[in-house]
Structure 1
Amino acid sequence: MLIVLVAIAVTAFGILVLGWVVYPSRTAKAAGVGAGENSSNAAGLVDTPISVILATRESDEAILRRIEDLRGGDYPSHLMEIVVALDATRSSGLDTLQEKLSLGTRAVHGAVAGKSSALNAGVAAATHEYLLFMDTAQSFERDAITRLVCAVGTDGWGAMTATLAPTSGDALMDRYWARELAIRLGQARRHSIICVTGCAYVMHRRFWREMPAGLICDDLWSTYSVVTNGGRVGIVTSARVTDPRRFTRDDEYARRLRTMTGMLQFVRWFPAVLSPRRNPMWKDFLLHKLTRPATPVLLLIGGVATWGAIMLASPVTAWTLLATGVATIALVWLLATLAPGRLGQKAKGLLFAQRLLVMPLYAIARAARADWDVWKPHR
């Protein structure tokens, strides 16, 4: 029995080390400069017409500000066809918005509620080969579109995504994003990134596939559509996008719960994403994405097996370790609640890390019961 428990613990922790240490480290080391970036061509303007798809459910004022910011870049305005794709939940404002839009810009709305339907409507209304997808809240640096279009024009690339600058103001979140960026660069250097940055990417129209209604991870779908049809997806480090919004840790928690639920939805709806024959990025998807929701499950399995093995060898030691672990968790909670100053802040950081660690269990539970309504409040 002891051997079985040790084997289970080693397997569970071994998978975690592979997904969280070995794979990220090796992939990050493989990263060079922005994969697929063509710095020499990006220095000047191009003469390629593009269709800009702005999927949104924001106010008319926010949409008009975003379009003004877009036209303030160095990409020639006369080469940009702009399609505002409204969420069906606010389709009643379509005519009013259209009256406010300038020439070369038109508004459409999705057939049903949700971003995927709005994107489908936007692409259907677009006329050019290059499709630029963007959201309402962010802002492009002046030459970001030029760099993206130049890069995606390189042979073999089906889509290129910009780099979202880490501006959260939270040191923990910014460090995490810097590590994530290094991993994406390594993935692109080998073949493709797993997910585009949904607020800024350019795709060849021939790789577009209509999105299923209710799909949560449109960014994952776009990448999957490219790589399963013979293209590659890269990232351009010099094409930078900023987001002026500031998110609390609760906001970040909700976002991660939403995206993880969407990833599990994707696996449930499209299991071929895990097929080596269908998806050239299946191994990266497995190690980079699915290790995350599996983490608390693997920790629980490995921890219980380890505790059981210790229990067989020394019951006193086993119970002492369990009591110490429970006391440590309780102490962190108390310090986060009661301690002032830096000590309290550090404890709150640890408490947030604990919440993130347990969060995949909520995503798994929602995926198991097919609860895809990720925009409603969940306590």
Structure 2
Amino acid sequence: MTSGLLLLIGASIAVLVTGWIWYPRHMARRGARVPALVPPDPPSWPAVSVVLATREPTPRIVQRLQNLRELEYSARALQFVVALDATVAERQEAVQQALGSGVVVVHGGAAGKASALTAGVHAAAHELLLFVDTAQQFAPDALSLLVSAVLREGWGAATATLQPTSGDALMDRYWRRELAVRLGQASRHSVICVTGCAYVMRRQFWRDMPVGLICDDLWSTYSVVTGGARVAIVPGARVVDPRRFSREQELARRLRTMTGLLQFVLWFPGILSAHRNPMLIDFLLHKLVRPLTPLLLLVTGLATFGLLWRESPGLASVLTTAGASAGLASWILAGMGEGRLPRMARTGIFAGQLLFMPLKALAFAAAGRWDVWRPHH
């Protein structure tokens, strides 16, 4: 009994340490050795179809297209396709009139970004596809750097680098760490997920997205790597998101992403096959350890309690009571207004909410509840 509990504790801690400490550091060291890319000369720029999936108001679409037209890329080489969400399909004619005949406007056949993207690709004319969202802004050389990356032999897609400019110190540190990990992944094989608001893909690797799919970014990467190519991340291709999210909104965004990850595993279990997925080890350590973390911590805690109970029931009871009290206090503090708590306390509670948020995603996945997307303005 004791040896079994010790083995359980050791295995759980080993997975956590590998996924949260060793793997990120190892990937960051690999990524630091990635050389910078040089964009091609203007005569070598191939034609690109820009696919913007959106349900934002027309003025925001106009503003986004203006930024894309100002890129250091031949304007004549760009085709613009605006793919409206099916929930705003009635706006198609008005949007078309506002954007003019130089932009193709279509709409998805069903609600959701996946359906809109599929409709947009069907309307695209060129071999290279640039996928963008409405809110972000590209650096002038972002597209040329992405194209130069994807034109290399063996590469099927290349994603830009979204700058950590949220204004939240905790989330910016997390994102900088994430970018370092992605660089290492690409140096080994491929990033696990493209940045959905900014990536270029070769059309030959496109596969129509299933209706209701949440993680379109993971689908695109999976389509490329199962098609025999690699997915790059380009540090110099900078993208900025000027929006600022509250921590409550950030939690909602993370919940959506985590639920989408679990949806993907349930819908496409082949991603867990080493034969089909050359990114399997990276996927397990970088993605699946995250939703499993609360469960691994729970297993570790219960096994530790079992060991303590065998040796000293009194001590086990005291520690359990202390842990339950700390959890109750955190729950009460989390319900208080942010202005009533010290900054360090707010950050600690937010970190705890992020850590245990996967439990809610697991509950959604178990119930098959996939409608978790909510827009933030």
What TM bracket, shorter-length normalisation? over 0.9
Specify the alignment match of 2:128 in structure 1. 130
Shift, 1:328, TM fit: 3.3
Shift, 1:320, TM fit: 2.3
Specify the alignment match of 2:115 in structure 1. 117
Shift, 1:324, TM fit: 2.7
1:11 pairs with 2:11: yes
Tell me whether 155-164 or 101-110 shows the greater mean CA deviation.
101-110
Specify the alignment match of 1:2 in structure 2. 2
User: Following superposition of structure 1 onto structure 2, how do residues 3-152 of structure 1 map, counting pairs within 5 Å?
Assistant: 3-32=3-32, 34=34, 38-39=37-38, 41-42=39-40, 46-152=44-150
1:165 pairs with 2:163: yes
Specify the alignment match of 1:177 in structure 2. 175
Residue 300 to residue 91, structure 1, CA distance change in 2 (3 Å) = same
**Would you say the 8 A contact 1:134–1:200 is kept in 2?**
yes
- Letter paired with 1:77: A
**Would you say the 8 A contact 1:31–1:183 is kept in 2?**
yes
Specify the alignment match of 2:342 in structure 1. 344
Extract unaligned runs of 5+ from structure 1. none
- Letter paired with 2:303: A
Tell me whether 212-221 or 332-341 shows the greater mean CA deviation.
332-341
Specify the alignment match of 2:265 in structure 1. 267
Instruction: Tell me the distance in 2 between the aligned counterparts of 1:63 and 1:334.
Output: 42
Shift, 1:26, TM fit: 1.2
RMSD: 2.0
Instruction: Tell me the distance in 1 between the aligned counterparts of 2:280 and 2:134.
Output: 31
Shift, 1:45, TM fit: 6.6
Among 269, 273, 276, the alignment partner of 2:274 is: 276
Q: Deviations along 1:235-290, whole A, 9 cap, x unmatched?
A: 00000000010001101100000000000000000000010000100111111100
1:297 pairs with 2:295: yes
Residue 45 to residue 345, structure 1, CA distance change in 2 (3 Å) = farther
Residue 340 to residue 207, structure 1, CA distance change in 2 (3 Å) = closer
Specify the alignment match of 2:212 in structure 1. 214
Instruction: Tell me the distance in 2 between the aligned counterparts of 1:33 and 1:70.
Output: 30
Q: Deviations along 1:162-200, whole A, 9 cap, x unmatched?
A: 000011111100000011001000000000000000000
Instruction: Tell me the distance in 2 between the aligned counterparts of 1:333 and 1:55.
Output: 38
Shift, 1:4, TM fit: 1.6
Extract unaligned runs of 5+ from structure 2. none
Residue 341 to residue 126, structure 1, CA distance change in 2 (3 Å) = closer
Q: Deviations along 1:14-69, whole A, 9 cap, x unmatched?
A: 1111111121121111113557x522x35757431100000001111110110011
Q: Deviations along 1:316-350, whole A, 9 cap, x unmatched?
A: 22122223323334455566677998971111111
- Letter paired with 1:20: W
Instruction: Tell me the distance in 2 between the aligned counterparts of 1:92 and 1:138.
Output: 25
Instruction: Tell me the distance in 1 between the aligned counterparts of 2:22 and 2:220.
Output: 27
Specify the alignment match of 2:235 in structure 1. 237
Tell me whether 115-124 or 4-13 shows the greater mean CA deviation.
4-13
**Would you say the 8 A contact 2:45–2:144 is kept in 1?**
no
Instruction: Tell me the distance in 2 between the aligned counterparts of 1:77 and 1:187.
Output: 33
Q: Deviations along 1:294-326, whole A, 9 cap, x unmatched?
A: 000111011100111011111222122223323
**Would you say the 8 A contact 1:42–1:151 is kept in 2?**
no
**Would you say the 8 A contact 2:160–2:195 is kept in 1?**
yes
SS in 1 for 2:31: coil
Shift, 1:95, TM fit: 0.9
SS in 1 for 2:342: helix
SS in 2 for 1:12: helix
- Letter paired with 2:109: A
**Would you say the 8 A contact 2:158–2:232 is kept in 1?**
yes
- Letter paired with 2:249: D
**Would you say the 8 A contact 2:53–2:83 is kept in 1?**
yes
**Would you say the 8 A contact 2:42–2:74 is kept in 1?**
no
Instruction: Tell me the distance in 1 between the aligned counterparts of 2:336 and 2:226.
Output: 52
Residue 319 to residue 227, structure 1, CA distance change in 2 (3 Å) = same
**Would you say the 8 A contact 2:338–2:346 is kept in 1?**
no
SS in 1 for 2:153: coil
Residue 85 to residue 376, structure 1, CA distance change in 2 (3 Å) = closer
**Would you say the 8 A contact 2:42–2:73 is kept in 1?**
no
TM-score normalised over the length of structure 1: 0.94
